[in-house]
Amino acid sequence: MSDLIATMVRPLQRSRRVALVAGLALGLAGVGLPQVAAAQSRVELPDFTELVEKVGPSVVNIRTMERSGRAAAGPGGSGIDPNMEEFFRRFGIPLPGGRGAPRGGGQGEDEPQQRGVGSGFILSADGYVMTNAHVVDGADELMVTLTDKREFKARVIGADKRTDVAVVKIEATGLPAVKLGDVGKLKVGEWVMAIGSPFGLENSVTAGIVSAKARDTGDYLPFIQTDVAINPGNSGGPLINLRGEVVGINSQIYSRSGGFMGISFAIPIDEAKNVADQLRVSGRVIRGRIGVTIAPVTKDVAESIGLGKPTGALVRGAETGGPADKAGVEAGDIITKVDGKVIEKSGDLPRIVGATKPGSKATLQVFRRGSYRDVTVTVAEFEPDAPVKVAHSDAAGPSAGAKSALGLTVSELSESNKRDLKLRGGVKVDAVDGAAARAGLREGDVILTLDNTEIADVKQFLAVAAKAEKARAVSVMVRRGEWVNYLVIRPAR
């Protein structure tokens, strides 16, 4: 019988052998042919050999070098393996012996020494290579090694730390460039493969599946999450689908131990390609900005203010004199669309605005006190935010407080407070207890709206609070320091 099984399996493709053997085993146990066929179709596994042969030559090893006067301790100092240094730098672990410790061997101070190792892949036949910005950051020299063992000195064309994308150039022609895939067609559960140099082990291949898409871990990047084994040295290498197309750049891992724990993140290739194109043209990335500080919209807040579902980006503050401020965007607004593009979650806003050309006009749809309105803003170029003036309490002290049924004692804002905070109205919280305390309100907060009603003074606050139904949740828009947030006061149960 074993000879019969071997004879039947041999002509089949390798990717189906396990499935058919499992099916034959079921058949020998009394399962009919239809069940065998079903088992075969369910258990089929991919064969990565052709992908490795196809894409492998396009993946490169990148070694970063420093002058020995600045290089990290090595043999004769801390004894650390140079291939581990990218690991220590990436995860903020102090280098044993400290940077700049004496090196052995009597090498001159200007002799370049290996500092770290990473990966990359060839974008074009004329020598442009994509990698991570953190791989090349701070390097005095770069050495790129191809799979055929040829080595080239490389120069950095540009690096963008915000997206962790860099482009380097080697002087070579006729190189095997990768084919870029469509991230929009990538599906959760789909098989993917990584090639890189973990711990300096060149052209190592690992595989797994896509665990999630659009995972927010940064302002400008909706990462691809996978369970592909990624370790120090894989950074900058390609994430490849079963069609042999690059769909991402392996960039980060989640780890409590420093090693791979089943969660890794890749930069979507469409985002990376957009950055790379700008780096190749101008050496930097130009981004739009509108000058707002934002926060997510929670389900409780969305329901309490009449927004319905938790969508959009809550404006906690608008930079004084910035594009949003000039356009009339206010703290407490919820931006739900930009030029018709829906803001599903707060992280969508900086990505969409960042991709907008500075100097152009954009239409923001905002939700303010129960209704939608359109605001036209002129997008500015991204630059460091200007310092925001910190408001201070009036030296004369607050006026006598008035207590409401919500557990809040409030007082009037002085005219100087209003000028400093750039407010038209509002009341200051002097004391908190009961439901308001449970909601998170604090002494010193400034209440701007209550139950979707803009508050001008204490009299109006008390009137709105008295009308609020005691059996339902009430939304409060609160200014705390320089930022604005929504809180929900819920009745005791």
**Encoded amino acid at 215, one letter:** R
Annotated binding site for substrate: 134, 164, 233-235
Neighbours of 316 (CB within 10 A): 20
Chain length of the chain: 493
CA distance 249 to 269: 7
Structure-token pair, residue 58: 């396009």
Annotated binding site: 134, 164, 233-235
CB burial of residue 7 (10 Å; 0-12, 13-18, 19+): exposed
Distance of CA 111 to the CA centre of its chain: 38
Which residues pair with residue 478 across a beta bridge?
Answer: 447, 485
Which residue, among 285, 289, 464, has the nearest Cα to 378 in the 3D structure? Answer: 289
Residues forming the active site: 134, 164, 235
Q: C-alpha distances in angstroms, 220 versus 12, 274, 279, 349?
A: 46, 12, 16, 9
Neighbours of 294 (CB within 10 A): 20
At a CB cut-off of 8 Å and minimum separation 6, what does 354 contact? 219, 220, 287, 288, 289, 382
Q: C-alpha distances in angstroms, 7 versus 153, 257, 373, 454?
A: 53, 47, 72, 81
